[in-house]
Amino acid sequence: MKDFGGILQALFAYVILCLATFLMLRMVIDYSSFRTDIHFLRFKQDYIDIPWWRASFYIHVFSSIFALAAGFTQFSSHILKHHRKVHRVVGRIYAVDILFINFPAGMVMAVYANGLWPSRAAFVILDCLWFYFTWRAVRAARQKRIPEHKEFMLRSYALTFSAITLRTWKIILLNTFHPDPLSLYMIDAWMGFVPNLILIEWLIRKKRNRKPLVTAPA
């Protein structure tokens, strides 16, 4: 019965991930037209002609989909057990994507975020934590501290998934409380990732209490 519950949880997680990736892919396809009057860009007309902002935006959009899709392989016990090379290759792509591509692009986006300094502070913190958690996960893997690697990868991916929760909370807040645009941006910037971190930290600590950490043999 316990195994069946675990299977259901995994299935639910994959359904959510499939839906999220599909929605993000649709958005990426829309942005591939390079039109500047669609979706998020409608609200960034003051910055759209700034070369480094525009370049950072498209780099962020087109590379983030790969980080999000990494969830299909990196948390699969089957792939980890039977296809370790796939796990390592995708993990390296994920790390390079975040550390060397998305972190600098995301920082530019954060500095120009809507919603004045509260929103900008939120996105700067998000970007720095994203980098830090990913870097810690990579370092732990190289040092063969596998439990630590798993925990930091979970934290990193919780922030990767903020690409989805940010948009989800925006819809919920807009349709429930009808805030003005400025307030919406400021609240949504924090709601997009803080609940993710709280949830993943709770899950990590719950798992720690259930199973002691074991360091992998060298």
pLDDT tens across 28-80, in order? 888 888 888 888 888 888 888 889 999 999 999 999 888 988 887 887 777 88
Q: Is 174 left (phi over 0), alpha (psi -120 to 50) or beta?
A: alpha
* CA 69 – CA 160 distance, rounded (Å): 10
Q: Does residue 117 lie in a domain region? A: yes
Segment 174-189, tens digit of pLDDT: 999 888 888 999 999 9
List the structure tokens of 79.
């792939």
Q: How many domains does the chain have?
A: 1
Which structural domain range is residue 201 located in? 2-210
| pTM flag (> 0.75) | yes
Nearest CA among 63, 196, 46 for reference residue 122: 196
Domain contains 217: no
Residue 73 lies in a domain: yes
